[in-house]
Amino acid sequence: MQGKGFSGFMTKGNFTPLPDLFFTHVLPQIQDVAEIKVTIYVFYLLGHKQGYPRFVTYRELLSHSALVAGMEEETLHYALNLATKRGTILHLTLNIDGRWEECYFTNTESARKAIDEIKRSGVPFREAMTREEDLAHGAPPRNIFTLYEQNVGVITPMIAEELKEAAKLYPAQWIEEAFKEAVMLNKRSWRYIARILERWTNEGKDSGEDRQGVKKADPDKYIKGKYGHLVKR
């Protein structure tokens, strides 16, 4: 007797973006099902993370029952090795809080730049690890780092600090809508997006959303200090 079939995807829900090149160039070459599962799961986990750089540890992968169900640990190792040899996933061993961890990145320009910086500086990065309860209750569909990478470009350490600060100041929905507005107007720059968020905070948002709890932005926030050269009036 067969189990109950899948009831279908919800119209409103969280989505994990995958590059078109994955489907056109990578997927046709993959023969091993475990490699497909691991690769997609790495994209999924990283899509729910914040911070710079974003990576997933081997322990995290091993702890996700949905991934490892019916998969021996030896198979997980094998699948990760296949993905890293293919170049879809990048691997780096990092010292996180005094513990050496096997870390995996998706092979994006931002990740390659971050790995080069880590190797060059020799300073271990500390990651804000994704918590199980965050995934269970549904993180924002796309965090500010994902939005920036998809719509603007490579995240540099300087921009990463600006994004972290903005994520603390503004609601996630505002941030996503600000990116959408900038894209519609073909103004793909953080300077423009930051000014949209600043304007909504100081003058009110057209959608009429509740602004309670939103910190009032300093009008000169983006033209003073160490990031001042990035923004002009």
pLDDT one digit per residue (tens) for the chain, 233 residues: 455 788 888 777 777 888 899 999 999 999 999 999 999 999 999 888 877 778 999 988 988 878 888 788 889 989 999 999 999 999 988 877 777 889 999 999 888 988 888 777 655 444 333 333 333 344 444 578 878 877 888 777 788 888 888 888 888 889 989 999 998 888 889 999 999 999 998 888 764 444 444 555 554 554 454 444 444 44
CATH number for the domain whose boundaries are 141-230: 1.10.10
CA-based nearest residue to 167, from 148, 143, 141: 143
Residue-range domain boundaries for the chain: 20-136, 141-230
Kindly compute the dihedral angle of the four CA atoms of residues 109, 111, 114, 120, in this order, to the nearest 10 degrees.
-90
Class of the CATH-defined domain 20-136: mainly alpha
Amino acid at 25: H
- Stated pTM of the model: 0.56
